[in-house]
Amino acid sequence: MTGEKRAGERKVFVKTYGCQMNVYDSDRMIDVLATEGYVATDNAEAADLVILNTCHIREKAAEKVYSDIGRYRDVKQARALEGHRTMIAVAGCVAQAEGLEIARRAPAVDLVVGPQSYHRLPDLLVEAADRTRQSRVVATDFDVEAKFAEMPLPRPAVTASRGPTAFLTVQEGCDKFCTFCVVPYTRGAEVSRPAAQVIAEAERLAAAGVREVTLLGQNVNAYHGEGPDGGRWSLARLIYRLAEIPGLDRLRYTTSHPRDMGDDLIAAHAELPALMPYLHLPVQSGSDRILAAMNRRHVAADYLRLIERIRRARPDMALSGDFIVGFPGETDADFEATMRLVEHVRYAACFSFKYSPRPGTPAAGDADQVAEAVKSERLQRLQALINDQTHEFNAATVGKAVDVLIEKAGRHRGQLVGRSPWLQPVHIDGPAEWIGSVRKVAIERAEGFSLFGCVLSTPDAEGRMMSATMTCAG
């Protein structure tokens, strides 16, 4: 019965901060803990174990973790008064970066576990539960290969609860050392999973009803995993293989670095219908001077040439990017170069951030930090430009018939929400049975950052589109 706790069953509440890899990792932690009798709960007050899966990429993200720990400490104390024990674990990149410091700053925390130690969670929890221990358990080794080998495959129940789309980590860590970024320190060196592991996981996801898989990696297009044939496989090679898995209609990947965008990956976009025409390709700045200071190892013109090649291969490719404004030493002229680059590329969507000095990264110590007010003003201008581009991109879809993977129920009764091939949210009316299927939708209007339309066709038993049923009004 729901709500009732079976004997021996323990509840785990996981709060996820930050990127998609953390979303993936949180589900994998739930899978590992299931082997120990834990079930996931959305209610922290009912949890025997609270895991905060944290993000360290910018200052605000890290600070939020400490204020949340205070909140869960109160829950822990309240439950203790009722005779229940609550363990608090801090996982993710703050755990990796701050380790012991967390235990010092927040004594309510029982366990600090870095991203490469999740396969050891059951043992670490036993250690942390030992009341005779004098100190907190801190596990921040870098052993990503062992983690990949030992983590269980996703359990169908967890997969199904996420709907028809899933993330799948194929690569972790980064060797690029951009001077602003903590990732090489928190996630460690670049490691690719063997292709056979990835294929097995993707097959498992497809069997559980997943229609779209997004391959994840901090530097996903640098993927160079061991192939089943013993050689090294590129990301493109892996994608061609995954596209053969029955039921996987859509493949995506993120995040890519411009320097690792191989010819074979660009060709795959031209050749593979399952590979969606959307590419997240951060450039960070349009100024060559700033790109050099960031250690990006390319200039703006290289990036623009690359975009041209990608668009030649796949003319309808939607592009997105990340930008940092107010990097140390960024002048008005540098910022204007970023604005010009954005105007030139015409993005479908972008993320943009104020530079945030991260402890231990080279740029954090630069003397010429940009004033907060200047950062805010630049960010506002950049975001206004990007929003205009997103609206323009969405408006250009109105009047077209596009394939939509229906993902979940919408906010209103009878409403469903899915995604176009270009990752735009699309709202339609229809029955819940449509969730998990791809439908041809006539886009009627664009509003805010969403599209609205009506279904033109339903797939037949073999999944082929039939233009028979029209649910469009008029």
Does 266 sit near ligand SF4 (CB under 6 A)? no
Classify 75 as helix, strand or coil.
helix
Are 443 and 391 contacting, i.e. CB atoms less than 8 angstroms apart? Answer: no
- Residue among 51, 183, 307, 379 that touches ligand SF4 (CB under 6 A): 183
Closest CA to 108 of 84, 81, 136: 136
Does 176 sit near ligand SF4 (CB under 6 A)? yes
Among ligand 5AD, ligand SF4, none, the one that 184 touches (CB under a kind-dependent 5 to 8 A) is ligand SF4
Among ligand SF4, ligand 5AD, none, the one that 324 touches (CB under a kind-dependent 5 to 8 A) is ligand 5AD
From CA 188, how far away is CA 175, in angstroms rounded?
A: 8
And the tokens for 468? 């028979």
From CA 85, how far away is CA 10, in angstroms rounded?
A: 11
Are 176 and 182 contacting, i.e. CB atoms less than 8 angstroms apart? Answer: no
Least distance in angstroms from the C-beta of 158 to ligand SF4: 27
And the tokens for 107? 């004594």
Least distance in angstroms from the C-beta of 67 to ligand 5AD: 20
Nearer to ligand 5AD, 192 or 361 (CB): 361
From CA 126, how far away is CA 36, in angstroms rounded?
A: 11
Nearer to ligand SF4, 154 or 184 (CB): 184
Outline where DSSP puts E strands in 156-308. Answer: 165-169, 171-172, 191-192, 212-216, 224-226, 232-234, 250-254, 278-280
- Residue among 53, 86, 254, 284 that touches ligand 5AD (CB under 6 A): 284
Classify 91 as helix, strand or coil.
strand
From CA 239, how far away is CA 344, in angstroms rounded?
A: 30
Does 356 sit near ligand 5AD (CB under 6 A)? yes
| Pure H helices in 348-423 | 372-395
Among ligand SF4, ligand 5AD, none, the one that 177 touches (CB under a kind-dependent 5 to 8 A) is ligand SF4
The overall longest dimension of the chain from CA atoms, in Å, is 73
Does 58 sit near ligand 5AD (CB under 6 A)? yes
- Residue among 17, 223, 240, 353 that touches ligand 5AD (CB under 6 A): 353
- Residue 73's CB is within 10 A of a number of other CB atoms, namely 17
Name the residue whose CB lies closest to ligand 5AD.
322
Among ligand SF4, ligand 5AD, none, the one that 355 touches (CB under a kind-dependent 5 to 8 A) is ligand 5AD
Does 235 sit near ligand SF4 (CB under 6 A)? no
- Residue among 322, 366, 429, 444 that touches ligand 5AD (CB under 6 A): 322
Closest CA to 94 of 68, 119, 120, 73: 68
By CB under 6 A, which span of 124-132, 154-162, 175-183, 334-342 interacts with ligand SF4? Answer: 175-183
Nearer to ligand 5AD, 194 or 357 (CB): 357
From CA 213, how far away is CA 209, in angstroms rounded?
A: 11
What separation, in Å, do the N-terminal and C-terminal C-alpha atoms of the chain show?
46
- Residue among 251, 319, 324, 438 that touches ligand 5AD (CB under 6 A): 324
By CB under 6 A, which span of 126-134, 178-186, 239-247, 365-373 interacts with ligand SF4? Answer: 178-186
Pairing of strands 425-429, 450-459: parallel
Does 181 sit near ligand SF4 (CB under 6 A)? yes
Kindly tell me the sign of the dihedral angle through the C-alpha atoms of 322, 211, 221, 224: positive
Contact string (CB under 6 A) for ligand SF4, positions 209-228, x = contact: ---------xx---------
- Residue among 177, 263, 308, 460 that touches ligand SF4 (CB under 6 A): 177
Tell me which residues touch ligand 5AD (CB under 6 A): 57-58, 180-181, 282, 284, 322, 324, 353, 355-356, 358
Tell me which residues touch ligand SF4 (CB under 6 A): 174, 176-178, 181, 183-184, 218-219, 257
